[in-house]
């Protein structure tokens, strides 16, 4: 009876998986803060912009740790486009990525949201009804692998949504979400999320 013979092996693999889990999940905030020095040259300067197309460099303070690991690994494997970030992550080890993610996510204090934005915040809130299941009622996502949008820069949010729509940034979930959004919808949604209390720039 082969199934009975394989059961103990499956059980051992299961236990081994459980035991090794905590070691994998742990990023070191202290090590991350040292590694982050180079990152703050862009991410730590309020309003620092990507040259072309021009949009503000995303805020990382208070972002979910798991999402930061996903996004940094995406740049490293080049499945997420952006030459500068691909270069920044090329030599990072998995441990370095976890340490950086732990450092940036450790920021607990919420910003008060960005001042007045270009889109219509009220309309954005209505349109965001379909986004809340994943990104939370006010843009603070319930799941650690879904990015928090609250307080993020408006122009970065526009840029990200446009990239999903054009297909240059690939994600099967978000591709479906943005398919039917007009340019105006994107502006309104970005304005709404940018105005919510949330992410911060670390200095
Ligand atoms: C020369 C400027 C620059 C430096 C240095 C830099 N970044 Fe970035 N970073 C950017 C830009 C611009 C983007 C937006 C790229 C895009 O549109 O995908 C970005 C995006 C990111 C994102 C994606 C955020 C999100 O919400 O998806 C993460 C995470 C990130 N950077 C982390 C880092 C870390 C960690 C370092 C240091 C190892 C670093 N960056 C160094 C400019 C920089
Ligand atoms: C089913 C879950 C789900 C829904 C619904 C959803 N999203 Fe997302 N969203 C995600 C995931 C997962 C990611 C990360 C994808 C990646 O790694 O690129 C993401 C990423 C994003 C990003 C990029 C954030 C960053 O920091 O780069 C923006 C902006 C965004 N979503 C906006 C929206 C808006 C606006 C809506 C509603 C129209 C929406 N999402 C609906 C799951 C969802």
Q: Would you say residue 9 has pLDDT above 50?
A: no
Determine, yes or no, domain membership for 14: no
Lowest mean pLDDT among 107-111, 166-170, 193-197: 107-111
Q: Would you say residue 10 has pLDDT above 70?
A: no
What is the mean predicted confidence (pLDDT) over 23-49? 88
Torsional sign, CA 143, 19, 22, 17: negative
Distance 186 CA to ligand 1 centre (A): 22
What whole-number distance in Å separates Cα of residue 133 and Cα of residue 23? Answer: 31
Residue nearest to atom 40 of ligand 1 (CA): 39
Determine, yes or no, domain membership for 177: yes
What whole-number distance in Å separates Cα of residue 155 and Cα of residue 177? Answer: 19
What whole-number distance in Å separates Cα of residue 186 and Cα of residue 162? Answer: 8
Confidence of residue 22 (pLDDT cuts 50, 70, 90): very low
Note the pLDDT of residue 107.
87
Place of tokens 């996004």: 71
Mean of the per-residue pLDDT values of the chain: 88
Determine, yes or no, domain membership for 116: yes
Q: Residues lining ligand 1, judged by CB closer than 6 Å? A: 38-39, 41-43, 50, 57-58, 60, 68, 71-72, 82, 84-85, 88, 100, 147, 159
* Better-predicted residue by pLDDT, 66 or 19: 66
Kindly report, residue by residue over 114-138, the tens digit of the pLDDT: 877 788 999 999 999 999 999 999 9
Place of tokens 């979930």: 173
Determine, yes or no, domain membership for 22: no
Determine, yes or no, domain membership for 13: no
Residue nearest to atom 23 of ligand 1 (CA): 71
Q: Would you say residue 8 has pLDDT above 60?
A: no
Could you tell me if the CB of 157 is within 6 A of ligand 2? Answer: yes
Residue 167: which CATH number?
A: 1.10.760.10
Q: Write out the residue range of the structural domain in which residue 145 sits.
A: 27-195
Determine, yes or no, domain membership for 163: yes
Domain count, the chain: 1
Angle subtended at Cα 154 by Cα 149 and Cα 155, rounded to the nearest 5 degrees: 120
Distance 49 CA to ligand 2 centre (A): 22
Torsional sign, CA 27, 61, 178, 122: positive
Lowest mean pLDDT among 20-34, 53-67, 85-99, 147-161: 20-34
Residue nearest to atom 10 of ligand 1 (CA): 57
Q: Are 80 and 71 in contact (CB under 8 A)?
A: yes
Note the pLDDT of residue 182.
98
Residue nearest to atom 14 of ligand 1 (CA): 57
Note the pLDDT of residue 110.
80
Q: Are 162 and 186 in contact (CB under 8 A)?
A: yes
136: nearest Cα among 117, 157, 150, 115: 150
Q: Would you say residue 4 has pLDDT above 70?
A: no
Residue nearest to atom 37 of ligand 1 (CA): 39
Determine, yes or no, domain membership for 17: no
């Amino acid at each position: 009876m082969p199934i009975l013979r394989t059961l103990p092996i499956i059980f051992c693999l299961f236990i081994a998986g459980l035991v090794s889990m905590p070691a994998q999940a742990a990023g070191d905030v202290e090590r991350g803060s040292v590694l982050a020095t180079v990152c703050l040259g862009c991410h730590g300067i309020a309003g620092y912009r990507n040259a072309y197309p021009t949009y503000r460099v995303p805020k990382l303070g208070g972002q979910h740790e798991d999402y930061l690991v996903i996004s940094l690994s995406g740049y490293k494997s080049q499945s997420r486009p952006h030459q500068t970030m691909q270069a920044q992550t090329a030599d990072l080890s998995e441990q370095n990525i976890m340490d950086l993610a732990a450092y940036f996510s450790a920021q607990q204090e919420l910003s008060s949201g960005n001042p007045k934005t270009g889109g219509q915040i009220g309309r954005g809130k209505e349109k965001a009804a379909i986004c809340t299941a994943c990104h939370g009622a006010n843009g603070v996502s319930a799941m650690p692998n879904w990015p928090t949008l609250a307080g993020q820069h408006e122009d970065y949010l526009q840029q990200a949504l446009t990239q999903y729509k054009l297909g240059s940034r690939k994600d099967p979930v978000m591709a479906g979400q943005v398919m039917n959004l007009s340019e105006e919808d994107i502006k309104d949604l970005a304005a709404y999320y940018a105005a919510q209390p949330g992410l911060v720039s670390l200095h």
